[in-house]
Structure 1
Amino acid sequence: MMDEFNASKPIYLQLADRINRMIVSKELQAGEKLQSVRDMAVSYNVNPNTIQRTYSELEREGILETRRGQGTFVTEQEDRLIRLRGNLKDEQIQSFVKVMQEMGYSSHEIISGLQEHFGQMNKGDA
């Protein structure tokens, strides 16, 4: 799945980000069971404690639910999944805008660049 991890961010948070993206992209569906802690640890070549911490963090955030004797599941609470989707979108936009501004682009240049980009994409759809 994921071969390398960024040394500047804890692995459990990187795994939580990956699971969140899988949920938002519908790779993981609401109510779907996740791999066991051991299986996920083998998949990512990390310590099972790291996976347990990832699952615990996402459970604390209300994204995952642990059902005793059954495993860990993606929440079926639609409001939490909608909030997750919005939060991930906002984070990506903020990151993109920050990088563009650091390179010296104005808000107007960023917006016109996006409009041009999407205009070209739409021409390709026609």
Structure 2
Amino acid sequence: MNWNFVDGMPIYLQIIDELTIRIARRDYLPGEKLPSVREVAIEAGVNPNTVQRALTELERRGLVRTERTSGRFVTEDESVLKEIHNNLSSEYIAEMIQKLRNIGMSDKEIIEAVTGCLRKEK
């Protein structure tokens, strides 16, 4: 998987975001073992300490848990996973709405545009 880091945001935060998305998307299933710090660092092309910092934060947020001798695993707590999914979708929708308002669209126009796009997707 590609890691595309952007300037102006700490890399460990971008790793947190990417792993959160992968967990929400179910690339990593509940209870599944995550790749090791070293594996993620090699894949992302970053220092292992940066990955360690990101994974520690994901553990603090309750998305992953550590088993002392076995590694890190995705939480099996469906309420945590649902909350993350809901938070991400709310964030993306809010960003989209703001961008559409920035180009002068009304709420009604936004609803019509989104509805039209969803119909085309079917």
TM-score > 0.5 by shorter chain: yes
Give percent identity, aligned residues only.
39
Equivalent pairs, count: 122
Give runs of aligned pairs for residues 19-38 of structure 1, distance below 5 A: 19-38=19-38
Aligned partners of 1:20, 1:31: CA distance in 2, in Å? 15
- Corresponding residue SS for 2:65: strand
Aligned partners of 1:110, 1:70: CA distance in 2, in Å? 48
The structural deviation recorded for 1:114 is 0.8
- Corresponding residue SS for 2:12: helix
- Corresponding residue SS for 1:9: coil
The structural deviation recorded for 1:119 is 2.0
Instruction: Confirm or deny that 1:52 pairs with 2:52.
Output: yes
Give the structure 2 partner of residue 121 of structure 1.
Answer: 121
Question: Aligned-pair RMSD on alpha carbons?
Answer: 1.1
Give the structure 1 partner of residue 75 of structure 2.
Answer: 75
Aligned partners of 2:3, 2:16: CA distance in 1, in Å? 15
The structural deviation recorded for 1:73 is 0.7
The structural deviation recorded for 1:121 is 2.3
TM-score when scaled to structure 1?
0.92
CA offsets 1:31-81 (integer angstroms, 9 cap, x no match): 111111111111111000110011011011000111101101100111100
Give runs of aligned pairs for residues 105-116 of structure 1, distance below 5 A: 105-116=105-116
Q: Which amino acid aligns with 2:87?
A: N
Give the structure 2 partner of residue 8 of structure 1.
Answer: 8
Structure 2, unaligned runs of 5 or more: none
Report runs of 4+ in structure 1 exceeding 3 Å deviation: none
Structure 1, unaligned runs of 5 or more: none
